[in-house]
Amino acid sequence: MEFLIIAVLLFGYTVYYYLQMKNIEIKSRNSMVRRILLIVIGLVFFYLAIVMMEDRPTLVVIGILLILIAFQSEGISKDKVIKFGILDGEFVEYKNVLIHKDDKGCSLEFVSPSRRVDTTLYFDQSPEVLEEFLKRNARKKIQYRYALDTDNSKKK
């Protein structure tokens, strides 16, 4: 019975997350390797569910969840960070936003004093575009900082 309750809650959260994905205005980069790996692992769980007699429903649910996570999108909307595993990603929850430049675009690191782990998303857009988007849409004043470029010492 506990398994059924957990499965319903996990699928409920997955449906909630997919509804939140419709609000994404700037999508982050997705790793194709990660996506393929999640699909393969999900299929392995399906195979194990066919081969094993015990824990069959558990293996099927885990396989379905892994495949659903493989097709997720992450990004930012007008008022929040949308990422799998974050229930309340409102901009007001974050104190700072660190902008890291890289070769393919940039990454945003959302720093929150109330959470143990900071949230990081990787984007193809330039840092200036994302900074302007956040300044225009954040209801609360968030501190924006560009992270120090550590690769400058190697190029000299």
pLDDT band at 32 (very low <50, low <70, confident <90, very high): very high
Average pLDDT over residues 41-51: 91
Dig out the tokens for 118 from the structure.
Answer: 């900071």
| Cα separation, 51 vs 101, whole angstroms | 47
> Which of 109-140 are b and which e, b meaning 16 or more Cβ less than 10 Å from the residue's Cβ?
bbbeeeeeeebebbbeeebeebbebbeeebee
pLDDT at 156: 39
pLDDT at 152: 44
- Regarding whether 81 and 128 lie in a shared domain, the answer is yes
pLDDT band at 154 (very low <50, low <70, confident <90, very high): very low
Query: How many domains, the chain?
Result: 2
Question: What is the value of pTM for the model shown?
Answer: 0.75
| Cα separation, 134 vs 127, whole angstroms | 11
SS3 (DSSP) at 95:
coil
- Regarding whether 84 and 67 lie in a shared domain, the answer is no
- Regarding whether 79 and 49 lie in a shared domain, the answer is no
- Regarding whether 66 and 82 lie in a shared domain, the answer is no
- Regarding whether 107 and 89 lie in a shared domain, the answer is yes
pLDDT at 114: 74
Give 127-151 pLDDT, tens digit per residue. Answer: 888 888 888 877 666 666 676 554 4
- Regarding whether 51 and 34 lie in a shared domain, the answer is yes
Mean pLDDT of the chain: 82
Range of 119's domain? 75-146
Identify the weakest region by mean pLDDT among 2-11, 26-35, 63-72.
2-11
14 has pLDDT over 70: yes
- Regarding whether 133 and 82 lie in a shared domain, the answer is yes
pLDDT band at 27 (very low <50, low <70, confident <90, very high): very high
- Does residue 34 fall inside a structural domain? yes
Q: Can you give the CATH number for the domain in which 125 is found?
A: 2.30.29.30
